[in-house]
Amino acid sequence: MRVLSLLLLVLSVAVPAMAQQRIAYVDSEFLLDQITEYRTAQSNLDRLAQQWQGELDQLQREVDELVRDFEARELLFTDEERDRKRQEIVAKEQELESRRIQRFGPEGELFREQQRQMRPIQERVLEAIDQVARDEDYDFVFDRSGDFLFLYAKTDHDISDLVLDELGIETTQAGR
C-alpha cells in the first residue's frame, strides 16, 4: 500500500512537470542545404572523391592487366619468373588496398577533409540551434532528419526557419 501511495505521489508530480516541457525540432538536412558554404564544400568533397576513385580504378585496371598477362603466359615462364610475376601482382594489389585505405578509410584523407570543411559549418548551425532554443525557451530540440524517428510532427514546432534567421540566411519555402 505504501509503495502504491508513493508511486501515485511521484506520478502526480512528474506528469505535470513533463507536460510543461517545450519541445521543438529542426530538419538539419534542410538547414544545411540552405547554406551556400555547405553546398560548395559538398561539391568539393564529391569532386575529390571522384578524382581519388579514378586513381583507384586505374590501379585496379593495372592489377587486372598483370593478372591477365600472367594467366596468358604462365606456362611460358620459368619457376623464377612465375614467382616474380606473382609477387608483382601481390605488390600491386597491396598498393591498391593501401591507397584505398589512405583515401577512403575511417581515418583517411576524405574523412579528414570532410572534418576540415564541414565541421565549422556544422558548429555554426549547432550554435544557432542552441541560441534559438534558449531564446524560445525550448527544453528539447530534436533533429527530424537524424536517426530519431518521428511518426508525427506538428509543423508549429519546426524551428528550422528560426535557425536560418539566426544564421542570417534568408528563408525560402520552395524546397519544403
Query: How far apart are alpha carbons 99 and 20 in whole angstroms?
Result: 55
Q: What angle is formed at CA 9 by the lines to CA 8 and CA 13, rounded to 5 degrees? A: 115
- List the pLDDT tens digit at each of the 176 positions of the chain: 444 344 344 445 444 555 578 888 888 889 999 999 999 999 999 999 999 999 999 999 999 999 999 999 989 999 999 999 999 999 999 999 999 999 999 999 999 999 999 999 999 998 998 888 888 888 888 888 876 655 455 677 788 888 888 888 887 654 45
* Structural domains of the chain in order of their starting residue, each with its CATH number: 20-175 (3.30.910.20)
